Structure 1
């Protein structure tokens, strides 16, 4: 492949475009030092892919662009083009002419290569140079320094010359690329094996985690199918039980009211009968006194009748003389006295009867008050019972943390583990006025159970604690991390004063100032309105940017989603302690009311008892007065009879005395009265006994009512507790269904049904929960991660296989190239040895020379040594030869190589500079021998060389810093050389 033409513009000193066409086998370029003739050498090297600015005698690649002179401006671009004749087919390019160009723009560092006018890669240019034998490391470009280097180089450095000559540079280049690929392949293989090992380490535990996750999911689904059915059944069961107990309690309440009414009626009847009995007993006593009086009068009348009979006998005998006037006078006085006494007693009796009537009215008033206070007393006792029952339920719920999630409950039960870092739940830290409770509950929902801690480290500690103890899940709010939320001032200004606007949620609660950031974090950007209509309007004014909640808990979320309606009643955690305190505060008041009613009831009952006693006393007094009145009346009647008797005594005496018949008649009257009184006494006695029996039976009935009522109250309390428990379990089931399974009762009831009895279901749920708990912490992402990791693993395994195969292919290719390189090197040393010795003989006029490997058994790593023996000399070390001798040995070796392996082009840049004239002639003549197979471009200033070239170009700088070329004859060349040699002499003479 012959070099036909070199074109350059902007390269180094070629400010103007140059074009050199080469004719003949040996072309010479001459010119003074500094004329830029060697820039042709640099230009050719640059086009063929030279990357080192130093090799081109510069500091950086921009130095190859014309930098300007006094008469010319700097250029911004350098371009060099080489045109080759490829008719010999040394290049694989399928063209007879190969044109290679390189372009560089200043300041960009971008080199553009062209091959036959098409942009190509630097690698393509290097490949063409190597396959044609004119690469950077070949013998195609030889300078004076290179010649001396050949002689002085080490055996290993010298070997590179023969590698180029043997045509193994492309194989070494390919081997280098292959080794680079092998290194990268090995790096990739090592990396991919590390990744495979890493994934393998992950896969086993990941497979276990995935298997555990599968078991967890399967058991969770099984648990869900049973537990949701059980929860549905629980809701139906406890809902039905709650309704049933509500109806039962209504019935019990009616029965209770009826028993209380009956007990009160029995009490009133007892009191009435006791009053009747007291009256009857008083009347009985009166009858007894009257009966005794009649009996006494009968006795007296009997004695009187006996006396009368005696008196009649005495009168009849003339023994009795009566002073009628004195006796009549005495009886009249007695009649007046007893008459006055009778009138007094009647007035007293009337007064007593009036007092009895007033006292009985008082008793009735007391009875009415007792009934009224008893109703109040029973109501207060019932209220106290309800409060104490509710309080017991709340205390039980608080003690057992009934409403807390498992994780929250476990953390609170281990407060000591966290010390002061754990502040409590959100519900523990905020106090909500009752009027805002429903709204705040709607906002916070489950967040009321979130645990407030000091820092995120404590939160992580809590999470790890739950994981290590299978303690469930909990949400932590670290105070050191959270930021307060707020509503922009202009937005707040827009809604203040709007109908229904109440305030910002965080401003409506009570909280310790140290937790102010917590309230603003949870509630700082939430608005409270009076109802859902105004809440919706306020939300619209603010473009749905914030959550707005009504007092009823209806919610308009940011973005516009509206939630509301009725809510199943459930026990809120908010103000839980406050509710307990409120109930506790109610108890002393109720107890005081009960005590006051009891005291007043006892006081009135004492008053009533005193009134009943007074009634008995008054009736007894009345009875005594009636008896006295009757006795006085009897005496009055007796004295009146006696007065009449004395008045008629004269007549009776005349009629022979008083008739006993009259007294006999009185005796009969009294006897009849006695019989009547005795009959009335017996009747009254039976009446008293009957009333006593009625009182006893009524008291027994009342006692039965009271016993039944007490038992009923116990049952009532149990049913209330049972109702509350049913309501609690009902709400818990609903809440668990919503919280754990995100389902409403209606949707759950449609899709899940309990297919077994409750005991069996509860046993299965317990069993599955235990099984799930035994699994410990479960990585639910493991299934998806396993699929991804196995996919990665398989990809990496496939990649490893591909890389291993690629590595093997590269290693085989390297082994093949090593064989080729070894064979070719061995062949080139063998072939060059004969030619080198012949050329050496010619150049030195005798002697001998040879090449040999320093390690023939390992040619790849072996160096190449030169053994040279000029005539008459026995020097073993090349470095001991003179400069001319070393140059001539190197030139002999170069020519030997070119004879054994001709190159299409060889550029010789002043390689003969150290030779004497005789050897220069030998050198130049030998070029003529080699030119049939090798084109020589000789840069020289030696006459012996110039006179023996086929064509000659001269280089000069007519304008300083700018090189021009021209074709010259030998005489002109000699003059140029002479001028160059004379110039230093002139300078010396000038000095």
Structure 2
């Protein structure tokens, strides 16, 4: 009676244990999946956060900007790149459109800006651009309106706080964002400033800057990235909660499994004890069977069939014995033998015990088979799989840990090297700044001394000039006195004459002069002057007659030689022009031709271009870039025929595309060995071929700033 409920309880616990093991396995798989998703989510979140941090760090690469932002002043809002968010589609275009203004610092007022500038000057920290909200004015988007389908104003593509509207209007101006260069050309190059989605820039001057541009992480914050970060943070929180729930659930399952295993073990012990108590009357046989089961559990399966056969035979024997027993009872009752009756009772009892023992043995064998098939073998396989998985994960974790340690070590070493280089750089920068300031002070002192010396030199020069003037005046007066004295140099000096007598003689001479009347004293002088001038005019007339004869002879010689000289020069320049044009352009060939070959000097000269397919065009039918290439080819042809010492070219590549600009730069590089070329250009293809580069920009104080670079 006690054994049956225990066995039922044992069976129930076994089923519960199997169910819990299955649920625990499912929970482990779900936990593993959640952890894997959590790791991937964490890596992606770290990558996106690193990208946002890199944008923030790049905006503070300027030491002056970094110092200003570190002040944590309420009036300093941050850089332009930190205050705006853009769509990933327009990220490159808006970064190029903003240019250097993307790192400008936005402040609340001009007072804050003035304080920051004063701080940078006092500490010699560098230069930064400030945009005060109370002074900055929006850029008027004048001109024709544009459709919203293919192109939009750049300022309308940035999400920002409304109070920064004027700042972004100033940064982008009337820049238009278009799909590609072809769209910009359809709108009209030069009508407004335009930038394509891939970063190609078209200026209002007609300059076009473009090419391959890699996407960087140093521009505006991307709205999609922020949204991804928010979504990933939510997903990360959700996965972490799921992992916590699954871990708790797995721990609860493991706890319940341990408890059920303990209960199962206790029930097995209790069942075994009860079975021993019920089979105490035949302990020898029970011990023998237990020993057989303990020695070789596998032999039970092989003996089952033999036992079944024995059972059949024994059942047959039992039926025979029952029939014999019944007959024997009848005889015994008839003989009333009490001894035989008691013997039969004992045999029945032994027979019943043997049946119970056989039934218990069969039941135990079935229970053992059931436990082996349903519990122990699956559990053993799961444990092996879990162990193998744990060993694999452990080895992977160890390998990953070692690689992360090595990577961490490399990163630490790299950080140390960069920190040391940074310290060295800043120390060198500070030393150079100090040296520059010292040299600036010395230059200022030297310039002051030079200015003083120049002033002294001017004073001395003025004195020398005044002395020279006085000297010339005295010399002139001396010459006049000498001329006046010449008429009296042969006169005799009358001596011992009184003053009164001299006065009397003077009055008499004056009276004689009055009596003579007015006399033209300059007549002789005028006559002499007219005579000299007449002689000069006669000489000039003779000279002009001789020069006229020489000019007439020269004109006759020129008339005979100028046609031959012109044709010789024309043929040389024409052949060089055709050769140079083919080097500058691959679309066709160009020729110089005379409008009147018989009398070339009576009419003009023109340029004809032969395009693909035997199509001839004159210079007026060419595009702006082709006209430029033809003009440059003529210049270089003349340069080869009659070289000059240097050439000055002002934005001659403005109408050229990238390929023609590269061909032009290579040709200029070739001819720069024979003459000096000075070019004004905004084209990267031309600039990269230069030996010396000068960049000129206008500062806010109206003074030009020149930066030179020698390649």
Indicate the TM-score class for this superposition, using the shorter chain for normalisation: 0.3 to 0.5
Max radius of gyration: which structure? Answer: 1
Q: Could you tell me the TM-score, scaled by structure 1's length?
A: 0.36
Q: Which structure is higher in RCO with an 8 Å CA cutoff and minimum separation 6?
A: 1
